[in-house]
Amino acid sequence: MTPKFVGMAALSLMLVSGSVLADECSEANALIQTARDAYDAVDARGFAWVPTEAYLTEAKADSAAGACEQAMVNAQRALDTAKAAMVQAENEATAWQSRVPK
């Protein structure tokens, strides 16, 4: 086993593991972006929820630390809460009227 062979093998291993890591986190990053867009949309309607932003912050930190699986979990939580907030915003466009004392 020549030093050249060992060097090539180590480099290959690094490239393979690096690309796997990048692929995993790129999936998480895409989900983070989707959740961010959903959050921005509901925020523009004035109905954003506090936990969504917290989940987004955590997801980004996880992704930056290479904890791609955890990043996916938090990004999904962010997306779920942003979607629920949008349902609330749409419902409350008219539902509030039933609460006004007559």
Partner 1 sequence: MKHAVTLALFTTLSLSVWAGPEEDRTAFVQFFEKRFPSIALEEHVNGAYALDEDKRKQWEALESGFPPYEDAVFDGEALWDESFANGASYSDCFGDSPAVKQHYPLWDAERGGVVTLELAINNCRESNGEKLLDYTDYAMVALSAYVAFESRGEPIAIEVPDQAALAAYEEGKAFYYQRRGQLNFACSSCHLEMAGNKLRSERLSAALGHVTHWPTYRSKWDEVGPLHKRFMECNDQVKAKAFELQSEEYRNLEYFLSYMSNGLPLNGPTTRK
- Would you tell me which residues interact with partner 1 (CB under 8 A)? 43, 46-51, 53, 81, 84-85, 88, 91-92, 95-97, 99-102
Which position has the token pair 């989900």?
31
Of 3 and 46, which CB lies nearer to partner 1 in the complex structure?
Answer: 46
Residue 69 Cβ, how far from partner 1 at the closest point, in Å? 25
Nearest to partner 1 of 4, 102 (CB atom): 102
Judge whether 81 and 52 are in contact, CB under 8 Å: yes
Instruction: Rank residues 32 and 82 by Cβ distance to partner 1 and give the closer one.
Output: 82
- Helix (H, G, I), strand (E, B), or coil: what is residue 45? coil
Residue 67: CB minimum distance to partner 1, A: 25
Interatomic CA distance for residues 93 and 22, integer angstroms: 42
Amino acid identity of residue 62, one-letter, is D
Give me the count of residues in the chain. 102
* Distance between CA atoms of residues 79 and 49, nearest Å: 11
Nearest approach, Cβ of 18 to partner 1 (angstroms)?
A: 37
**Cβ at position 70, least distance to partner 1 in Å:** 21
